[in-house]
Amino acid sequence: MAAFTLSFFGGEHDVAATAIDRAVELNPNSAHAWMVYGLVSCYRGQPDPAIEAYSRAMRLSPQDRLGRVITAGMALAHMVAGRYEASLDWAERTLRQAPGHAISLVDKAVACAHLDRIEEARAAVSQLLELQPWLTIAWFKASATRYPAELRARYVAGLRKAGMPVE
């Protein structure tokens, strides 16, 4: 599955939120349910509930083999909030666990670009393009349709500033 095409309930984020609320009500100790709660909250433009959900998932399963999903989710949640330094910190934490984690390289590039750390942003894009040479801004726009429009625009602006190919 392509990194940015992940969706829950076909983009019906309110329906997904209702379902995941029920899931965590039934099993409040499911780290995986809290990870999904975090992602759905990000898609709904709600970074603070997302951060709380990812934090809870980390507490419930600190050695989870999907730890990179949690840390990448934290990077996304901070990106949603416009907290670029925190997003970068979490993206780098993910990359220490999983070097070449594509979503985290995107987050790193975008956060660095918005922090005017252009050399680091370009290095992240270069590394990303080694892994996924077909990746372009046009592809990202077409694939990131589940992101809130304002967030997608910030990603596109950051990727452009970081030197991602347009077409």
pLDDT, one tens digit per residue, over 122-159 is: 999 999 999 999 999 999 999 888 788 899 999 999 99
**What would the pLDDT profile of 21-54 be if each residue is shown by its tens digit?**
777 777 788 888 899 899 889 988 999 999 999 9
Give the CATH number of the domain where residue 57 resides: 1.25.40.10
Percent of the chain topping pLDDT 70: 89
Tell me, what's the pLDDT at 157?
98
CA distance 113 to 118: 5
Q: Quick check: is 89 in a domain? A: yes
Q: Which residue has the higher pLDDT, 9 or 83?
A: 83
Q: Quick check: is 167 in a domain? A: no
pLDDT of residue 18 exceeding 80 = no
Q: Which two tokens stand for residue 19?
A: 């379902």
Q: Quick check: is 4 in a domain? A: no
Q: Quick check: is 166 in a domain? A: no
In the chain, what is the straight-line distance between the N-terminal and C-terminal CA atoms, in Å?
21
**What would the pLDDT profile of 44-101 be if each residue is shown by its tens digit?**
899 999 999 999 999 998 887 888 999 999 999 999 999 999 999 999 999 999 999 9
Tell me, what's the pLDDT at 28?
82
Q: Quick check: is 36 in a domain? A: yes
Q: Quick check: is 27 in a domain? A: yes
Strand ranges for the chain from DSSP E: none
Tell me, what's the pLDDT at 102?
94
Task: Please state the domain count of the chain.
Answer: 1
Tell me, what's the pLDDT at 6?
44
Q: Are 29 and 62 in contact (CB under 8 A)?
A: no
Domain extent for 50:
10-161
Distances in whole angstroms, Cα of residue 2 to Cα of each of 51, 64, 102, 122, 143: 24, 22, 10, 22, 8
Q: Are 167 and 118 in contact (CB under 8 A)?
A: no
Q: Quick check: is 23 in a domain? A: yes
Q: Which residue has the higher pLDDT, 7 or 164?
A: 164
Q: Quick check: is 138 in a domain? A: yes
